[in-house]
Amino acid sequence: MKKIFYIFLGTFISQNAFANQPVDWQLGFQKAASESMREIVAFHDKLLLPIIIAISVFVLFLMLYACVRFRASANPNPSKRTHNVTVEVLWTLIPCLILIVMAVPSFKILYKQDTIPKADLTIKAIGYQWYWGYEYPDENIIFDSYMIEEKDLKADQPRLLAVDNEVVVPVDKVVKVLITANDVLHAWALPSFGVKRDAVPGRINETWFKAEKVGTYYGQCSELCGIKHAFMPITVRVVSDEEYEEWLSEARVKFAKEEIENDKLKLASK
């Protein structure tokens, strides 16, 4: 009972307090931070949920009605009827109509996500067993992003979600994400942005997001990829334009692609 109470409590708290990461006893989605996710949440809350509740209540009512109305003591001679054309037509047509009502807005959202607007910047996410590597192809930046072990966490860093090198992107800009993998299937997923794409070795998938609020957003690999699947989180820090420029100038030095590759070559030749 106590557990159920916490689940309900968690639902309400999660709506207000933490925007960007899962919370204890959370039910439902994380708070949306992009238009795409807002549409997904609205689709779920305003259309799917009412339909689910209506169907559940209707079926429950039918079951209770049948139990009471047709119980053996009240109905000693059961009906021998095997067909009823009207009922059969209705229970085929009504679910079809419900599916069409759901499909139209669902496809609209899906196709909107699929069309990538003109991108302000491109990042590439590469899944490895078991961490994410990132590239900013236009900036010559390349780095790896590992989960921070529990013992090394700082006070504001969430367990199993914080990483050493975060992806940094500017707020209100279209970010195109190229997603691939180096070994097995992974999936790059960020709930608050409504983004989830498989990372497939030898193939590049694309998606995009436009973060509307400054903040740190957490996601996880969402394709079972092996023993440490649970330990390759995704952290995206959304910052103002100025902060992004600042980060870029530091990152160009810290994560310079040629230098890293030269170092690797030197190591290999030794």
Nearest to 186 by CA among 201, 165, 176, 206: 201
Is residue 186 a contact residue for Cu ion (CB under 5 A)?
A: yes
Query: Which listed range, 77-85, 115-123, 223-231, 244-252, lies at the site for Cu ion (CB under 5 A)?
Result: 223-231
Using rule CB under 5 A, residue 225 touches Cu ion: yes
Q: How far is the CB of 129 from Cu ion (least distance, A)?
A: 7
Stretch touching Cu ion by CB under 5 A, among 15-23, 57-65, 86-94, 224-232: 224-232
> Between 78 and 202, whose beta carbon lies closer to Cu ion?
202
Distance CA 113, CA 37 (A): 10
Q: Which stretch binds Cu ion (CB under 5 A): 68-76, 82-90, 180-188, 203-211?
A: 180-188
Identify the three-state secondary structure at position 149. Answer: coil
- Per CB under 5 A, which region of 45-53, 68-76, 118-126, 214-222 contacts Cu ion? 214-222
Token digits for 125?
Answer: 């996410």
Q: Establish how many alpha carbons lie within 13 A of residue 167's alpha carbon, considering only the half-sphere containing its beta carbon.
A: 27
Specify the residue, 186 or 197, whose C-beta has the smaller distance to Cu ion.
Answer: 186
Tallying the residues shown for the chain, one arrives at: 270
Contacts of 146 (CB under 8 A, 6+ apart): 131, 163, 164, 165
Q: Cis bond leading into 130, ω under 30°?
A: yes
Contact with Cu ion (CB under 5 A) among 195, 211, 221, 238: 221
Nearest residue (CB) to Cu ion, 171 versus 184 = 184
Q: Which residues bind Cu ion (CB under 5 A)?
A: 186, 221, 225
